[in-house]
Amino acid sequence: MAHGLAMDQAAWTSPWRTRSVRDKAVLTLGLLLAAVTLPPVPGGVAVASVSLALLLGPIRVGLTRLWRISWLPLLSILIGVATVAVSPTWDAGPGLEVTPAGSAMAAALAVRAVAATLAMFTLACSTPIVDLFAALRRAHVPDPLIEIGSLIYRFTVGLLESAAAIHDAQVARLGYATRSAAMRSASMGVAVLFVRSWDRARRLEAGLSGRGYDDRLCTLEPDRVRSGRFLAGSIALLAVLTGTSVAWAVLR
């Protein structure tokens, strides 16, 4: 879970946290769209480079934290890309082969997936989930849906701590020393976790109803900086990325 907490911590401490969600969403969604629509070279490479520069520059994720956040998704991409690269053959019995077409598809996929992942990080590492919910509320998404989403987030944070504590305690008692012990420990951990989440929900409900909770949990929201220059800069950046890709394709 370390990389997950690292992403959340990065979002809460990022200098871009004070920026408006609208501004950041335009930039991130634009980069994501560019990553999946433009050709891998130069479009995908450019999106990956820009996203990396933003993460290490103004978003201030830091190289160590960025590695902690990205190694798992990169590993996942690597496994997926390797699967796409190989083809099953039946000519001389079942086997695997790497074809030029498969390799080309895998290379393009690797660039696109890395570029899109880094682009997604620009939002995830600069915007805590609570800020997204506040933005959705301002966008008139129905209150009950926002409430359930934000309650899931609140419960999740507590339950992750419980899950880690349960797991650590079980490991200390050699609960994962053998396969059968691991199965037993995992099932007990899951059962305890479900009962705890149920119990916490009940206690929270009792506490909130005593305070007159009806349909929304309002909290104070700090002012967010809406910047026309930031928005214009984002759109200009995306236009340059698209223009460069198109020009590259035409001039080649």
Q: Which of residues 172-201 bind another protein (CB under 8 A)?
A: 176, 179, 182-183, 186-191, 193-195, 197-198, 200-201
Rounded-to-integer distance, Cα 232 and Cα 18, Å = 18
Count the residues in the chain. Answer: 252
- Distant-in-sequence, close-in-space partners of 190: CB < 8 Å, separation ≥ 6: none
Instruction: Kindly tell me the sign of the dihedral angle through the C-alpha atoms of 70, 75, 80, 86.
Output: positive
Q: Does 244 contact another protein by CB under 8 A?
A: no
Instruction: Kindly tell me the sign of the dihedral angle through the C-alpha atoms of 206, 210, 212, 218.
Output: negative
| Cβ contact 193:162 at 8 Å | yes
Give the shortest CB-14-to-another protein separation in angstroms: 13
Q: Does 45 contact another protein by CB under 8 A?
A: no
Q: Does 39 contact another protein by CB under 8 A?
A: no
Q: Does 24 contact another protein by CB under 8 A?
A: no
3-state secondary structure of 227: coil
Q: Does 95 contact another protein by CB under 8 A?
A: no
- Residue 117 CA from chain centroid, whole number: 8
Question: What residues numbered 135-154 form the site for another protein, per CB under 8 A?
Answer: 142, 144-145, 147-149, 151-154
113 vs 230, beta carbon nearer another protein:
113
Give the shortest CB-13-to-another protein separation in angstroms: 15
Per CB under 8 A, which region of 12-20, 99-107, 218-226, 244-252 contacts another protein?
99-107
Q: Does 83 contact another protein by CB under 8 A?
A: yes
